[in-house]
Homo-oligomer: A and B are copies of this chain.
Amino acid sequence: MPYSSNLAVQIFLDRLGSRTKLGSEEMDVIRSLPGQKITAGGDRDLVRPGDSVDHACLIVDGVVGRFGQMRDGRRQITAFYVAGHMANLQSVVFPSTGASLQALSPVTIIRMPHKALKAAAAKYPALADAFWRECAVDACVLAQWIVNLGRKSAVARMAHLLAELGLRMEEAGLGTSHRYRLELTQVHLGDALGLTSVHVNRVFRQLREAKVVTVSKRVIEICDWNALISIGEFDRDYLHIDTKCWDLPSHRREENHASSGISMQM
């Protein structure tokens, strides 16, 4: 497999390994997973709503969005995926997941057969754990998105998104959290933030005038990170970057519960 693909696999492996203790044998299994490399132009469907798939998509380059769609054609992006992310790992256990995927910029992806991923998970329990855990992190991000959409103003949502994307781009080796190139239009951002593209534009203006963020030619530059995370009420914990899931001390809280009006019986 060519260099860029190896890199994407390595980032994916790093993500898995940062949370789950993997042996060198297990890492080799991931590295030698079979896959078919595919390129697609922007705004091209990768998985259509209702499709049943037999492969998961590892992003090598570009941005992929997970969509929900309304009758009238309006869309809501529910997740962004960049290099090193497995966009629909959950499809391994759920081929008919309603989610649809679309390339938001020209993308390169590797389609990895469920069969191979399942076999890997079956043979190595640590990998099964890692995959499950990866899906759990995805769910955490979705839950945070719900909080943003339900309770935050337009600027706060934007600030939160820019901070999140910064950390993810950095993780993917595509810049730093303070400065990265984002191959998305304002329409795309609006679809993610639940806003119109017009308002996205006005929010950018606000952030620019507050000297928090500057944007030019798709390059996001965050001038005042502290202001950004304050505006967006951003707390990076939910991304679980480098949250180790082994050798954790188990925090028992029975005493607390007992003292807070919860009664127990066997």
Contacts and interface: CB of A to CB of B under 8 A. Distances in A.
Given A150-B149, A250-B54, A93 B136 contact: yes
Contact of A99 (B38, B52, B143, B150): B143
Contacts of A53: 251, 253
A136 B248 CA distance: 25
Nearest to A54: B250
A24 B34 CA distance: 35
Contacts of A28: none
Contacts of A140: 94, 97-99
Given A39-B263, A40-B262, A150-B149, A237 B98 contact: yes
A53 to B, nearest CB: 7
A19 to B, nearest CB: 8
A257 to B, nearest CB: 8
B250 A39 contact: no
Contacts of A121: 128
A150 B194 contact: yes
Interface string A62-75: 00001011110011
A30 to B, nearest CB: 17
Contacts of A132: 93, 128, 131-132, 135
7 contacts: A37-B264, A39-B265, A54-B250, A66-B143, A76-B150, A97-B140, A142-B143
